[in-house]
Copies of this chain bind each other. A is one copy, B any other.
């Protein structure tokens, strides 16, 4: 919904003023809209676009060198008047004539046509062109009846680029018309949009449903379905667009294309990238070469939830004009020299350190114990994940169980891979550490990653790790954890469990690793239980609120669970 406005009746005027305030380096206000505030080539032809407001960056956001010369700005979803279009057209004219172009809507066509007539009456050379890229709005046999949606960007960009080169108006119109013929769009919507001050949306889509082909002002679509997966939506859009190639494009395979995935308002970038991932794969399967891709917001429908996919089937001319430099408030391209890496440099860069370093037979033996310990840790965390979540939910965000599961599962997978490839104990621990912290997220992921990585450094890939090595590794890890987390014993964190664990392990090391470890695990278990009585850690601010009293710390508890499980593995190994 729209929350920020003053007088709703003044909204369109005020957004135009604010837009000009923010972009004075590129545009200046004239009656009915904006024109460039930058120097244009005398005698060059002008490209004037426009339509209702509420579609930003269409249309005013596309005014600047290399793109539009001016934009007429109507009220919300309402065509600018003929007088407004004429005013912008006259201000944009540099003596080379004017192309007035907009989407194919009754009101816009009426007003742009009337403006063209008024200007022609004064001897100005004016041509008009209506964008018709929306394949859902009329059958292919009646393309001239289709609406114009996000594909307008391509038409305006091609026209603007050619005008910038100083081409004659007739050539600009021909190129724009060709771009329109080669451009197809299909959109979907999940919700309507709400105007400033309105209590109801302008139109609605039932919850969980998707309107296919719905227009950018809520014009009815051609069908309605349940909301598909991102992959399912990508397939639907790609199949529809591949199903209607332009007459002069015999087949998609081998054809170069410009692809635009356009957000209509409240479908956000992250969702669009997930959809685009599938679009790219499907086009590659179909043999289409994507020469340019744009994922973002180019023609919105205020705060409507929805998106559209546009394909322009390129030829050499269109490719050159799309790539040409443009600088506008919302769209900039092709202006800084960008040098891609060579294949050789890429290969070199990709040769990451994925090789397994050589290891002694003793260390490879010990790696098997590391793996068994991690598997035991996985089992005990799986068995206690719900309880850990409940403990965390009392005071935190309740994701400790899930995070630990993600981390320990990834660590076991990585350790299995390492052992299968002949890694020693140190490398196995190190790969498990990276996998754990990569996948777990949250503070527990950081701390377990640090703990295992510190152990890995002490253990190495040469010697069989003896009791002394393990004890000093645990001591180093304990110290590292305290330094990194900034917490002390009594702060109600994992530190409360690892400190007594490391202490007892050190004291009892004369009894051999298995016995010492078991005693240390008992100490950790006792200490973890005792955290229930402590005042919470009041160090660094936490995003989701401070912990409260009365529950044991889940981080200390899961540490105790794991070292106890590992004690059983070491006992068995004896």
Contacts and interface: CB of A to CB of B under 8 A. Distances in A.
Interface string A63-88: 01110000000111011011110010
A246 interface: no
- Contact-residue bracket for chain A: 35 or more
Contacts of A420: none
Interface string A484-516: 110000000000000000000000000000000
A272 B18 CA distance: 8
Nearest to A293: B22
Contacts of A78: 441-442
A107 B446 contact: yes
Interface string A422-457: 000000000001100110111101100110000000
A385 B435 CA distance: 69
Nearest to A436: B81
22 contacts: A14-B230, A18-B280, A21-B276, A22-B295, A26-B338, A28-B346, A39-B339, A54-B270, A56-B268, A65-B338, A66-B336, A81-B438, A83-B433, A83-B449, A84-B438, A106-B540, A137-B541, A215-B543, A268-B300, A296-B330, A332-B333, A332-B335
Contacts of A333: 332
A145 interface: yes
Contact of A542 (B3, B106, B273): B106
A369 interface: no
Given A3-B267, A443-B107, A437 B274 contact: no
A105 B270 contact: no
Interface string A224-265: 000101110100000000000000000000000000010001
Nearest 5 A/B pairs, CB to CB: A18-B277, A18-B273, A81-B437, A78-B441, A335-B336
Most buried by B among A22, A105, A437: A22
Contacts of A219: 541, 543-544
Interface in A179-236: 190, 196, 215, 217-220, 227, 229-231, 233
A4 B65 contact: no
Nearest to A1: B305
A327 to B, nearest CB: 5
A310 B281 CA distance: 39
Nearest to A283: B21
A141 interface: no
Contact of A65 (B114, B276, B336, B540): B336
A80 to B, nearest CB: 8
Given A300-B269, A340-B38, A434-B81, A229 B5 contact: yes
A349 interface: yes
B266 A303 contact: yes
Given A82-B437, A349-B91, A3 B274 contact: no
A37 interface: yes
B541 A106 contact: yes
A19 B83 CA distance: 43
A352 interface: yes
A38 B341 contact: yes
Contact of A38 (B215, B296, B338, B484): B338
Contacts of A3: 190, 227, 267, 271, 305
B38 A6 contact: no
Contacts of A65: 336, 338
Most buried by B among A87, A110, A346: A110
Given A79-B446, A215-B543, 13 more contacts: A14-B230, A18-B278, A22-B273, A37-B340, A39-B340, A54-B270, A61-B269, A81-B445, A82-B450, A107-B443, A114-B484, A269-B300, A325-B336
A110 B335 contact: no
A333 B327 CA distance: 9
Contacts of A556: none
A37 B32 CA distance: 43
B37 A434 contact: no
Interface string A403-427: 0000000000000000000000000
A238 to B, nearest CB: 13
Contact of A274 (B4, B61, B296, B339): B4
A280 to B, nearest CB: 4
